[in-house]
Chain A
């Protein structure tokens, strides 16, 4: 790509963070990327790679304390890094549009959609109100909003995440910019919505001839949509080229690691557990939340889990897959006895867990443990690591010394030997998940419910933690109810899978069977929406 042909040309961009009290640190070193007109380019990296800062730097939207210290940013040949702020504002929105990550917080909750859509048009194009209105309505229809008239008068909180991202797209594309920068636009959405919104974005960009720069950590998306890719690690550009080339024949070790860490079907056959005893039996479980009655109405029951039948055998890994809101998390909590069933029963080792006396409850708690999703809030910030891990042992038989010994044993098994005296805030996200896992296995449970244990982690860390979990499960032989939304993870780790939608189980069976020959429409849609890597 010659310089003159490219639409966007960033050369040797350096970004520093300069806190008022502290030494300046470089976040991005000498980045050089280019995007041609109408091209779809991806900028890939994990957290801390500097990719988000790079995207923000293009329009000088860096947070306070962070600034560009060197480099040129050429848009259509003109160095916009040298523009004054008023001049730059002329470019923002009209030539370069930006879509952000969090659908919940990227639209102003206090203003109507119509107002927010009209602002850009009024500023850059100076159109009359009727023209603005008709353009907005047309754009909203294009992005798939069913009632654009009502939408214009409504507020953002009345729409779901997927809808809000569509509205964001409408808002940005209304101005027909030459370049669209999309910063993790679908990370906060579930698999199906993710696919829909991205497909929409690609289609609209293609139709209007807009170039796209996609910032993401998801290699699957890159493989599916991007023509070229730039890979960042810790602020350095380490590899770039045609997508297929980079992903199938990566040259740099980090890129290789990144590609490898994508979950894939395991090659080693898993032990056959189809004949072992049933450990966990869920019979026609229903959970409904009663909505607080309005002043004049009666209490309505909002069903979250409907008539679920499920069983997990000893030593088996059953994956529970579904979108957010499908009820899978609630079901997981119910299995642990943290939520009561409205009807039906959950039996552990033959006994109904809603019916246990104190001693039996104690035994149950020692034998069934939970791994949480959030590495930040699942550990008490005021407790030391070793105390956190030792907590489940408080009710277990044995001396204090024996328990201390067990805790050090477990710390070693998860690779955190010697970290016992530390506090959670001193550890990284991946390390905190290891602590959560350690806490779950310290009492040698027979059942572990893992609620999205790796969803909040970077890809390379995710691969490590998943491998750890697999190894521990093989060693300890506990049954596992693995709750997730990521089908690729299911493929790697689970014997059996149950697909959940709107509170019901729509399909279940051995993983290869369900994924190879899906019977239900929802399962098929999920499989189609999950981007796979080549090879």
Chain B
């Protein structure tokens, strides 16, 4: 695989490794975890990382490593669902409105921009207030929160392609609008959509952990890296590892996704081949 800049190959490798570790952790978590993530053990609360608890235990004696593993599964599932929802819905809307333009486009973009005017977190918060707490509503709230951004980006990509001569050539050949959209527009905007997917995935992971940190995300006792950080706050002085581990998980996951996305963007950019 040729990359235009050598450090992107390094990025890609690091990205793949980190993402791989994440997937591996989740996969392993389905079959085995050191302890039951929600099992309380009041005899061993706040224990330092040791042979018994590799990453220590929290204020209820629950094993941090097991909770982190389950948290990985929960956060990733939510992120995948919300990402695919936002991408599929957003891309469809973006392609249609970008290609057809006219009044439909103007109205839709006005609505789109109005939703964008409410910052993602607040919008998600507001939606969760409406939908109630629980995993399904978090997914729905995040999907709606990121939908407008996806529509904007996809629409932009479509509009930059729309004026290209090969789209005109398709009309000259006698193709209908749907055929042109499907066979000419879509293949050419697939690369930016793929890269956008990795970006959105990263944003959703971050947003979900922020919501959980605030107390409106994944409800305890189910672990999410965000709510683990939140409950670690009172114990910052004596049990600092509780504040470090979950955050490190989030950071490494995001790092992996970002690097992976950067390398992917370079690979898929058609200008490379010119």
Contacts and interface: CB of A to CB of B under 8 A. Distances in A.
Direct contact of A and B (CB under 8 A): yes
Given A372-B168, A378-B165, A425-B274, A394 B187 contact: no
A377 B166 contact: yes
A338 B174 contact: no
A523 B270 CA distance: 43
A439 B172 CA distance: 11
B164 A377 contact: yes
A379 B6 contact: no
A153 interface: no
B166 A394 contact: no
Contact of B165 (A20, A362, A372, A423): A372
Nearest to A426: B273
B169 interface: yes
B173 interface: yes
Contacts of B177: none
Interface string A416-428: 0000000101100
Contacts of A426: 273
Interface residues of B, number: 18
Given A21-B6, A377-B166, A439-B169, A392 B174 contact: yes
A425 B173 contact: no
Contact of B166 (A333, A361, A378): A378
Interface string B255-274: 00000000000000010011
Contacts of A423: 273
Q: Which of A20, A378, A391, A439 has the most CB of B within 10 A?
A: A391
Contact of A381 (B172, B173, B270): B270
A181 interface: no
Contacts of B188: 380-382
Give the residue among B169, B171, B187 with the most A Cβ atoms within 10 A.
B169
A365 B173 contact: yes
Interface string A375-417: 0111111100000000110110000000000000000000000
A366 interface: yes
A468 B130 CA distance: 69
Interface string B3-17: 000100000000000
Number of contact residues on A: which range applies? 20 to 34
Contact of A362 (B168, B170, B174, B274): B174
Nearest to A378: B165
A370 B172 contact: yes
Interface in A344-364: 361-362
Contacts of B175: 391, 394
A374 interface: yes
A366 B165 contact: no
B184 interface: yes
Contacts of B168: 333, 338, 370, 372
B174 A366 contact: yes
A369 interface: yes
Interface string A312-337: 00000000000000000000010010
Contact of A369 (B172, B187, B274): B172
A289 to B, nearest CB: 15
Contacts of B170: 380, 391
Interface string A283-323: 00000000000000000000000000000000000000000
A362 B173 CA distance: 9
Interface in B171-190: 171-175, 184, 187-188
B177 to A, nearest CB: 13
A423 B270 CA distance: 12
A248 to B, nearest CB: 39
Contact of B174 (A21, A376, A394): A394
A365 B170 CA distance: 11
Nearest to B166: A380
A256 B151 CA distance: 56
Contacts of A369: 172
Nearest to A375: B165
Interface string B231-274: 00000000000000000000000000000000000000010011
A534 B66 CA distance: 87
A425 B165 contact: no
Contacts of B270: 381, 425
B40 to A, nearest CB: 56
Contacts of A333: 168
A391 B173 contact: yes
Contacts of A425: 270, 273-274
Contacts of B169: 370, 372, 378-380, 391, 439
Contacts of A376: 274
A395 B187 contact: no
B174 A361 contact: yes
A269 B68 CA distance: 85
Contacts of A379: 166, 169
Nearest to B3: A21
A500 to B, nearest CB: 21
B83 to A, nearest CB: 24
Contacts of A395: 173-174
Nearest to A390: B173
A307 to B, nearest CB: 26
Contact of A338 (B171, B187, B274): B171
Contact of A365 (B6, B166, B172, B273): B172
B174 A20 contact: no
Contact of A380 (B171, B184, B273): B184
A392 B274 CA distance: 26
Which of A369, A377, A439 neighbours the largest number of chain B CB atoms within 10 Å of its CB?
A: A377
A338 B172 contact: yes
A379 B165 CA distance: 7
Interface in B1-59: 6
A392 B165 contact: no
A472 to B, nearest CB: 18
Contacts of B187: 380, 382
B247 to A, nearest CB: 36
B172 A336 contact: yes
Contacts of B273: 381, 423, 425-426
A213 B236 CA distance: 73
A452 to B, nearest CB: 12
A20 B166 contact: no
A392 B173 contact: yes
A410 to B, nearest CB: 14
Nearest to A440: B172
B171 A374 contact: no
A314 B49 CA distance: 89
A394 B188 CA distance: 21
A425 B271 CA distance: 9
A423 B273 CA distance: 10
Given A369-B172, A395-B173, A425-B274, 10 more contacts: A365-B172, A370-B168, A370-B169, A377-B164, A377-B166, A378-B166, A381-B270, A392-B172, A394-B173, A394-B174
A-B complex: 4 closest residue pairs judged by Cβ atoms: A378-B165, A365-B174, A425-B273, A382-B187
17 contacts: A21-B6, A336-B172, A338-B168, A338-B171, A369-B172, A372-B169, A378-B169, A380-B166, A380-B187, A381-B270, A381-B273, A391-B173, A391-B175, A394-B174, A423-B273, A425-B270, A439-B169
Interface of B: 6, 164-166, 168-175, 184, 187-188, 270, 273-274
